[in-house]
């Protein structure tokens, strides 16, 4: 079964809009696990506009499933991850001022850099994943970096799903098949939501984990957080 990791950046955004500690990022993480989430994802950015460095350290002893920290591997980010030692680090090539992640790595162009960074994390016993566009030709370079997994950047799938779901998912299937040839695990994330998740999960081979934040938190405003987590888990179930 594909695991559900919930990105709680939006909880931190809501808290920061008012100041104080409501809603509590740490309590929501604990509750999400209690509701069935199999991982907690955060994406701290240098300006701390949502997740702060303090949040990272506060969450570490509380997350009992899988702690996944995403981010652009600048030196301060690398040092923080090496100190916190989450189960997984996901490397994303977003600019400091990006509203959200918007592209995967050019692994060919950044091969030496990624090799160096990934070796640091792997030497510390941290599983690595790198954000990747649905491009089968990029997989061999991703494998050369030494990463354990790739995370398929699914914005294009989500955008095109209402128009032609078979065409929307084709490049993702091709990329996943290529990744399997190189022994890479497959994660996915970005704009996956209740109405497009099941089709993606059913058709991507060896899909180990999805990381979902914005849609899940938004849908929980109507359905409630526990009900929404359970609804996502049902979409991922293979029966």
Instruction: Write out the catalytic residue numbers.
Output: 43, 70, 190
> What are φ and ψ of residue 185, in 5° steps?
-75, 160
- Are 69 and 29 contacting, i.e. CB atoms less than 8 angstroms apart? no
Q: Would you state the structure tokens that stand for residue 222, as one six-digit string?
A: 């109507």
Cβ 211 vs Cβ 7: under 8 Å: yes
Contact 85, 76 (CB under 8 A): no
Helix (H) or strand (E) holding 129: strand 127-132
Classify 201 as helix, strand or coil.
helix
Q: Please give the structure tokens belonging to residue 162.
A: 């209402």
- How far from the centroid of its chain's Cα atoms is residue 38's Cα? 13
Distance CA 92, CA 63 (A): 22
CA angle 88, 122, 175 (to 5 degrees): 65
Residues 61, 117: Cα–Cα separation, whole Å: 25
């Amino acid at each position: 079964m594909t695991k559900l990791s919930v990105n709680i950046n939006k909880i931190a955004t809501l808290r920061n809009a008012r100041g104080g500690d409501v809603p509590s990022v740490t309590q929501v993480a604990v509750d999400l696990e209690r509701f069935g989430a199999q991982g907690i994802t955060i994406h701290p950015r240098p300006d701390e506009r949502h997740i702060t460095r303090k949040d990272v350290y506060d969450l570490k002893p509380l997350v009992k499933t899988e702690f996944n920290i995403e981010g652009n591997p600048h030196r301060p980010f690398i040092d923080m991850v090496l100190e916190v030692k989450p189960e997984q680090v996901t490397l994303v090539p977003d600019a400091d001022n990006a509203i959200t992640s918007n592209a995967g790595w050019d692994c060919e162009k950044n091969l030496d850099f990624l090799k160096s960074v990934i070796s640091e994390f792997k030497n510390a016993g941290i599983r690595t994943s790198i954000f990747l566009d649905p491009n089968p030709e990029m997989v061999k370079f991703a494998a050369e970096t030494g990463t354990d997994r790739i995370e398929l950047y699914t914005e294009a799938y989500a955008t095109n799903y209402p128009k032609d779901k078979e065409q929307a998912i084709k490049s993702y299937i091709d990329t996943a098949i290529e990744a399997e040839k190189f022994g890479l695990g497959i994660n996915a994330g970005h704009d996956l939501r209740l109405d497009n998740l099941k089709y993606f999960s059913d058709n991507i081979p060896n899909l180990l984990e999805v990381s979902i934040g914005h849609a899940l938190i938004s849908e929980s405003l109507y359905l409630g957080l526990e009900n929404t987590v359970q609804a996502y888990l049902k979409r991922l179930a293979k029966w």
